[in-house]
Amino acid sequence: MRLWNLRLIDPLIQPGDFARRRRRLLDVMRPGSIAIVPGAIEQRRNRDINFPFRQDSDFYYLTGFCEPDALLVLIPGRDQGETIVFCRERDAASERRDGRVLGPDACRLVLGVDDGFPVSDLDEILPGLLEGRSQIYMNLGEHLLWDHRLMRYREQLAQQRSSEEPEVGEIVTLGHLLHEQRLIKSAKEQELMAQAAQISVAAHYHALAMISPDVTEADIEAELHYSYRRQGARAEAYPSIVAAGENACTLHYVQNDSELSERDLVLIDAGCELQYYASDVTRTFPVSGVFSSAQRDVYDIVLAANRAAIDACRPGNHFNHPHEAATLILVEGLIELGLLHGDPEQLIAQGDHERFCPHKTSHWLGLDVHDVGDYRLGDSWRDLMPGMVLTVEPGIYIPRDDSTAEIAQAYRGMGIRIEDAVLIQKQGCQVLTEGLIKEPDDIEAWMAARAGKRNTARVVA
């Protein structure tokens, strides 16, 4: 199958799935409480132009509704309806300019909630819904305009309250309840994330096909975006990192405007977002098509660490086991190369390896690239469970600066990271980004075959 032809038009997650998520949240909320889940607000880019709109992940998770200026209210056990959406009203003139909106009347039918109201009526309706609630679940600090409104309503209620009436409900963070649910991906979410990974893998192959000293980081970035859009993904899950040579030592390098040099590696850390679900994958390739011996030494260590961490991704292990496995391999390898000296466990305990390996190995992946969910429960790392998705991304970075003056020139000015997205299963795990080559011999063979094809094309032409 040509991956170019993979088209993903129909949303896999349907209104019934969003309704089940709301039900699960309502079932764990305290009786007498209320949850406020604000949607995202449009952000101005410059003058009268906004950034492309992206819905808040919590709000999307519970509604599937992608318009700005919306708010979800959940009230467990409320006789007149437990789920209410506030949204923009329909208006012919503005819809002619900006496109159709759903409008409050269609909320019940389309979103499956109990009621829909115009967001312009919030001041009249929401204080009444808050009145008498023992807890108000909400995530403060994410959408400041909504935070201010909620605080204003609480103050209003506190002022109106008579001494016999109960105190205005305390604000409790919603994150914990909701994010525990988001952390374990359903079968449909797993399917969607596998598709997102597949699109990203195909995009990386398109990028790989054009790597040569004739191109710039910007050319590769453009190829990734083009490939995502052609395959049905609207956006990147995070700003693409295309980092040649020493640029790869900047972990979140996004300038992406340098030329590639024949003697360098190029690190590509890029993943698409598909129907709101993120993918995240990194590979590091030799621009010439062949690793130098120093590049290969370091690459082999990072690859061994990536494989050891993936082996540790299984139920029965906790979140930090993959990191511990990867770090030990990285440090042992750096000692063997003569870049670190001493006992591996002691070096790790002292943090001496962070000079070359400054970041952790994993983060959760889902609707957000650095997805929600606690990494620790109390004092302990949390256990890995089927349905969790995490990245495995060990790396070694050796800048060419004063801090590495004593290191052999051949090792300086390189950053290597190899990252996969991993789904925990009942037995072990599935590597969602498996399709993207990472064995150095495979990379060299792939690039040589591509160069052969290019030369043939030139001769024929």
Residue numbers at the binding site for ligand GLY (CB under 6 A) = 238, 269, 280, 369
Q: Which is nearer to ligand GLY, 25 or 421 (CB)?
A: 421
DSSP state of 52: P
Task: Give the relative orientation of helices 293-311 and 321-336 as an angle to the nearest 10 degrees.
Answer: 160
From 2, 7, 27, 48, active-site residue: 48
Cβ 242 to ligand GLY shortest distance, Å: 12
Helix, strand and coil percent figures for the chain, each rounded to 5? 40, 20, 40
- Tokens describing residue 23: 């039900």
- Beta-carbon count within 10 A of 412 CB: 16
Residues 174 and 137 sit within 8 Å (Cβ to Cβ): yes
From 236, 397, 420, 444, active-site residue: 397
Cβ 137 to ligand GLY shortest distance, Å: 29
Could you confirm whether 48 is annotated as catalytic? yes
Q: Which is nearer to ligand GLY, 71 or 237 (CB)?
A: 237
For residues 244 and 222, what is the distance between their CA atoms, to the nearest angstrom? 15
From 280, 368, 420, 444, active-site residue: 280
Q: Which is nearer to ligand GLY, 269 or 420 (CB)?
A: 269
Please provide the size of the chain in residues. Answer: 461
Three-point CA angle 98, 104, 105, nearest 5°: 115
Could you confirm whether 123 is annotated as catalytic? no
Could you confirm whether 176 is annotated as catalytic? no
Q: Which is nearer to ligand GLY, 21 or 182 (CB)?
A: 182
Residues 272 and 365 sit within 8 Å (Cβ to Cβ): no
Cβ 373 to ligand GLY shortest distance, Å: 15
Cβ 418 to ligand GLY shortest distance, Å: 12
Could you confirm whether 280 is annotated as catalytic? yes
Could you confirm whether 252 is annotated as catalytic? yes
C-alpha of 97 from chain center: 32
From 359, 382, 400, 450, active-site residue: 359
Cβ 250 to ligand GLY shortest distance, Å: 12
Q: Which is nearer to ligand GLY, 87 or 392 (CB)?
A: 392
Could you confirm whether 321 is annotated as catalytic? no
- Nearest-Å Rg of the Cα atoms of the chain is 25
Residue numbers annotated as active site: 48, 252, 269, 280, 359, 363, 370, 393, 397, 417, 419
